[in-house]
Structure 1
Amino acid sequence: MVIIGITFLRPNMDYNLMLSELIQESPVVVNAKDRLSSIIPKMRELRIHTAPVVNDSSKLIGVIDYRDLLRRKAPLGSRASSVMLPPHSISLNSDIDNVVRKFYETRLREYPVIDNNGKLIGILTRSRLLTAIKDQLPANAKVGDYMTKPVLTITPSDNVAKARWLMIKHGISRLPVVDGNRLVGVVSLTDLIEKIYYVSMPRRSRRGDFSGEEEFLAAPVSSIMTTQVYSIGSDKPLTKAVDLMVSKGVTGLIVTDDGGVVGVLSGSDVLKAYMDSKKIILPIQARIEINNDAKPLIEKVINNHLEKISKLVNVVDFKVDIRARDSGKRYEVTVRLKDDKELHTATAEDRDPVSAIREAMDKIMQSIIKNVSKARDTKRRSRIQE
């Protein structure tokens, strides 16, 4: 049996930091009737990725996710009400450890904060959270202990399509650009999606030098990479990495040793370090032996789906069972996920265990989306009747 660890937090009774000390006024607050033509430019200018949508009573009714809008290529004429996501949020009385867990699970950079009546109070950024928990990181923790490795890189002459494919395939948000052994730039997934969005717009509103998406994807990485790159050594204290990320306003650092790239450290990696001193392992039980090549792929599929699901519901319990059938020729996967309101179960079979897991997780995802949409429609009808 293979055990894949999933981290859940145990409340930290010795750490009394109050959430109210960390929240700030949201730079962008959206009304349901606002159009994307006014929302997207503000979010882009302020580098905001999550904007709360409120009604006339300041109650949170949804969120606008910047990267989600760009990926879906939502028309600029769309109203917020037609493209907003369910209102994932943090309650003002939340325990800091649970807040860390939410940020880690969803990979979000900002979270709306609400009071007991669902009214928007402000927003909490991952940057402020990192600063708050910095002194609670494991003693003597080094960058190299928590950086993502081995690191994927790309060259300046590689095309943009390859960079996008690598990031999507491996579930990463940034790629160091290297010329030989020298770090010369970085490409982020958000920047790529943003540029694709604008080059895909009608010519009269298009921004940039590319005539369309096809030309953009064929362009060399050197034409769109960011040359201002912040790096840090693997032997540096993790607290120093937090200070650098916060002061420079970046979400990750390239880790270099002797001039060569050896890893990438993100804000989520720092949250993982914080959780290490408090973790409870809730295992995903696999009833077959999985080879070392398949295990990271299985973890990636599960974590990518959980990241999306955690934005919609609060995950209370989660388990996966994998069983061999027909002498190992096929695999049966059963996924059980419990949220605050319901237990979701899905099964799938395939010759490839990774494909079977992906199919089962997709079914769970669709079940949750259906429930969330149904609940949203019910609330909408109730408001109309009132």
Structure 2
Amino acid sequence: MLMKTWCRCKDMSGVGDIAIEPPIILRSSMRIGEILPKLSELRIREAPVVNDSNELIGILSYRAILSKGVGRDTKVLTIMDPPYALNISDSIDRAIAQIVQWKARDIPVIDSFSKVVGYINRVMVLRYLLDHNLVPSEKVENVMSSPAITIQEWESIARARWLMVKNGFSRLPVVDRYERVVGVITLSDIVERLYRIKLSRRKGYEWIESEESFLAAPVSDFMTSPPITIPSSVTIIDALKLMLGRNIAGLPVVAGDDRPIGVLSGLDVLRRYIEASISVQPIEAKISTVAEIDEFTRSAIERIVNSYLAGFIRYINVLDFKLSVKEIGKPEESKNKDVRRGFEVSARITTDIGGFAAKSLCWDLPTCVREVMGILERRIRKQIEKRVVSKPGYKKSEE
């Protein structure tokens, strides 16, 4: 698992050279129902929240809206994430390193006083690389994320939502019973449909389907089909031109029989751009050898931990991280397949705002790890929120 990057890359242009005026700036007192149509129209998935002095105090994301299941009257204040931003004086290469590290799509740009003065997104950076001939000359197969996590066309929208929130994805390839890619379902598809339903029901249109019926519907009813796919032999440059030309964030990579072998996203391209020019500091994640863990479970644990850490390092500097797993019960019992195995998972993270620890006991190891990381997240956010509230100019909105 990897934690921290420091970029010594090639391009010396600055964020200020490509940043634009923020398309939308939110206030903590605004309600989701009035914001979502604007975000959808602007194709923005992460928007800055400011106080009366235009200082950045938070970020509202589609993922937060979906994962917390909030209503249209919910105020931004209650679900916004802690603030993260690029500085107007940052280089393009530093911006790319941060985008990859944070796994961010839309990022506010601030000045030295934490005031929002601009905005950049992943598409703008990718287009910059393409226009300046800085895209790596490699095949997609060397860059794509693999294996591809997919969903069957008959599975529910609720499961698609769960898979995306769980794995930190914004899109999923949809496959048929022969494992051939037949469509794509995205996070924005689900969020926007859910809130159209809630808005329509509020206005009294009873013929609109319920939220429950939508979540129970098969993915095939709402996926984008036919999908745009690419073979692994295509160059990154050609794949990126296709993505930017079609205004899509990612492409399923398929074999000759249309079966998925990976997914290429803009983030994968940016990651490859900086890989050759960065130093990487590993996170120390200790998994006890006492617990016998198969490779599939170990991979699932790493994916969960990396997803949470990518969120943490948007808001704080992570100095150290340790994860330990201990199997509960007698060693001879664990070898008996009929005996249920228990686990004790502990995590400790050291950051620039303090140290945090969490522990959990459960039967399913990935679930246990997710629970521990969730506890850490809540404790970190609580500490960050205390700092935000203490900022001059911050006003808690009246309910």
Q: TM class by shorter-chain length?
A: 0.7 to 0.9
Identity among equivalent pairs (%): 32
- Choose the corresponding residue for 1:238, options 216, 236, 239: 236
Q: Following the alignment from structure 1 to structure 2, what is the Cα–Cα distance between the partners of residues 266 and 308?
A: 18
Cα shift readout 1:118-164 (whole Å, capped 9, x = no counterpart) = 111111101112233455455x4211122233334445444434433
Question: What is the match of residue 390 of structure 2?
Answer: 378
Aligned ranges for residues 270-289 of structure 1 at < 5 Å?
270-277=269-276, 278-283=278-283, 284-288=285-289
Change (3 A) 1:14 1:211: closer
Q: 2:90 matched to 1:94?
A: yes
Question: What is the match of residue 260 of structure 1?
Answer: 258
Q: Following the alignment from structure 1 to structure 2, what is the Cα–Cα distance between the partners of residues 221 and 351?
A: 30
Q: Secondary structure at the match of 2:264?
A: strand
Question: What is the match of residue 19 of structure 2?
Answer: 23
Change (3 A) 1:244 1:353: same
Change (3 A) 1:359 1:84: closer
- Choose the corresponding residue for 1:189, options 187, 190, 194: 187
Q: Following the alignment from structure 2 to structure 1, what is the Cα–Cα distance between the partners of residues 255 and 242?
A: 17
Q: Secondary structure at the match of 1:346?
A: strand
Question: What is the match of residue 42 of structure 1?
Answer: 38
Cα shift readout 1:255-289 (whole Å, capped 9, x = no counterpart) = 12325132211222223323431242404233426
> One-letter code of the match for 1:285?
K
Which sections of structure 1, spanning at least 5 residues, go unmatched?
A: none
Q: Following the alignment from structure 2 to structure 1, what is the Cα–Cα distance between the partners of residues 67 and 329?
A: 40
With structure 2 as the length reference, what TM-score do the two structures score?
Answer: 0.82
Q: Secondary structure at the match of 1:117?
A: coil
Displaced runs of 4+ in structure 1, greater than 6 A? Answer: 206-209, 380-384
Cα shift readout 1:306-348 (whole Å, capped 9, x = no counterpart) = 2332343333433323455655566554423233322223344
Q: Following the alignment from structure 2 to structure 1, what is the Cα–Cα distance between the partners of residues 219 and 173?
A: 11
Cα shift readout 1:160-200 (whole Å, capped 9, x = no counterpart) = 34433444455533222344565432111331233233324
Which sections of structure 2, spanning at least 5 residues, go unmatched?
A: 335-341
Q: 2:186 matched to 1:174?
A: no
> One-letter code of the match for 2:315?
L
Q: Following the alignment from structure 1 to structure 2, what is the Cα–Cα distance between the partners of residues 270 and 206?
A: 46
Question: What is the match of residue 309 of structure 1?
Answer: 312
Change (3 A) 1:223 1:354: closer
Question: What is the match of residue 141 of structure 1?
Answer: 138
Q: Following the alignment from structure 2 to structure 1, what is the Cα–Cα distance between the partners of residues 60 and 169?
A: 22
Aligned ranges for residues 324-343 of structure 1 at < 5 Å?
328=331, 331-343=343-355
> One-letter code of the match for 2:350?
K
Mapped contact 1:198–1:206 kept (Cα < 8 A) = no
Mapped contact 2:33–2:199 kept (Cα < 8 A) = no
Q: 2:203 matched to 1:205?
A: yes
**Displacement after TM superposition at 1:53 (Å):** 2.2
With structure 1 as the length reference, what TM-score do the two structures score?
Answer: 0.85
> One-letter code of the match for 2:268?
D
Mapped contact 1:7–1:282 kept (Cα < 8 A) = yes
Change (3 A) 1:185 1:355: closer
Q: Following the alignment from structure 1 to structure 2, what is the Cα–Cα distance between the partners of residues 166 and 82?
A: 24
- Choose the corresponding residue for 1:318, options 316, 321, 330: 321
**Displacement after TM superposition at 1:252 (Å):** 0.5
* Matched positions, count: 379
Question: What is the match of residue 363 of structure 1?
Answer: 375
Change (3 A) 1:356 1:167: closer
Mapped contact 1:346–1:363 kept (Cα < 8 A) = yes
Aligned ranges for residues 127-166 of structure 1 at < 5 Å?
127-133=123-129, 135-138=133-136, 140-166=137-163
Q: Following the alignment from structure 1 to structure 2, what is the Cα–Cα distance between the partners of residues 349 and 71?
A: 24
Q: Secondary structure at the match of 1:379?
A: coil
Change (3 A) 1:81 1:295: closer
Mapped contact 2:5–2:101 kept (Cα < 8 A) = no
Moved more, 210-219 or 343-352: 343-352
**Displacement after TM superposition at 1:360 (Å):** 2.7
